[in-house]
Amino acid sequence: MTGFVSFVSSGPGDPDLLTLKAVDRLKRADAVLYDDLSSGPILDHVRAGADLVSVGKRAGRASPNQASVSRLLVDYARTGQRVVRLKSGDSGLFGRLEEELTALREAGIPHEIVPGVPSACAAAALAGIPLTRRLTARRVQFVTGHDVTGGLPDNLNLAALADPEATTVVFMGKRTFPKLAALLIAHGLPADTPALLAQDVSLPGQAFERHTIAALSDRLAREIGDKPALILYGPLAEGGA
């Protein structure tokens, strides 16, 4: 028997931001393998009796390795079950989706990808700012703040990231932002470029802090905390946050 796997994007955490297709797949699932940031009220949509398996990976915490997660996904599907692999934000953005897709393809298991609200888009909306601005921010770029070792990637396109007319969103970058900010300033980005630290986006404890990149670098050098966060910088509009 061969089951079916739905890669379901849960959005940033608020269950109201789930798509109708995401809710449908959760209600019909026999098993849900979920990330830490896709837990909580989102799992209330799963039917009683379905298997719930936490496979989340968080920096600084004991977590299952990627090979184990992929193998577990294949094993569940091979029993003929309808399986949901629940990922935060949009599963195609920094979510290790490709490794799991490869494992399913090699095992001959049918699957689908259900897109969701990217956390970057939710952060901008909740902060009351646009990601693009006519004449001043015609380009948006997403970048990860750490590589597989947890450090700042050493092959970043710093010329692009220091473009003062682009809005840049840094995922998983609190630990490495002081180093990144120094490199950006060295490559010509003004130290007073606006920056936004968005933590626990869409959750009850969400918090937004406005800084310059230099001030945010100093703040994160002192304390980073354990809340998941995004950093946005560039020609950001003034908003409600």
Reported as type and span, the H/E element at residue 106 is helix 97-107
Q: Which tens digit of pLDDT belongs to each residue from 49-73?
A: 999 999 976 555 556 788 999 999 9
Q: What is the rounded distance in angstroms from the CA atom of residue 152 to the CA atom of residue 220?
A: 14
Residue 213 falls inside a structural domain? yes
Question: Would 240 be classed as within a structural domain?
Answer: no
Q: Is the pLDDT of residue 193 over 90?
A: yes
Same domain, 138 and 189: yes
Q: Is residue 58 part of a domain?
A: yes
**pLDDT in the model for residue 239:** 58
Q: Are 126 and 220 in the same domain?
A: yes
- Which pLDDT score, from 0 to 100, does residue 188 have? 97
pLDDT at 138 over 90: no
Predicted model pTM = 0.91
- From the list 14, 30, 35, 90, the catalytic residue is 35
Q: Which of 114, 140, 165 is the last residue of a domain?
A: 114
Q: Is the pLDDT of residue 241 over 60?
A: no
Tell whether 91 and 167 lie within a shared domain.
no
Domain count across the chain: 2
Residue 167 lies in a domain: yes
- Residue whose C-alpha is closest to residue 199's, from 211, 187, 186: 211
Q: Which domain holds residue 221?
A: 119-233
- pLDDT averaged over the chain? 93
The answer as to whether 239 is a domain residue is no
Residue 192 bears catalytic tag: no
Under 8 Å between Cβ of 200 and 88: no
Task: Please say if 57 is a catalytic residue.
Answer: yes
pLDDT band with cut points at 50, 70 and 90 for residue 88: very high
Determine which helix (DSSP H) or strand (DSSP E) holds 22, and give its type and residue range: helix 20-28
Q: CATH code at 216?
A: 3.30.950.10
The Cα–Cα gap between 240 and 195 comes to 14
Write the pLDDT tens digit of every residue in 33-47. 999 888 889 999 999
Q: Exactly one of 21, 24, 57, 227 is catalytic; which is it?
A: 57
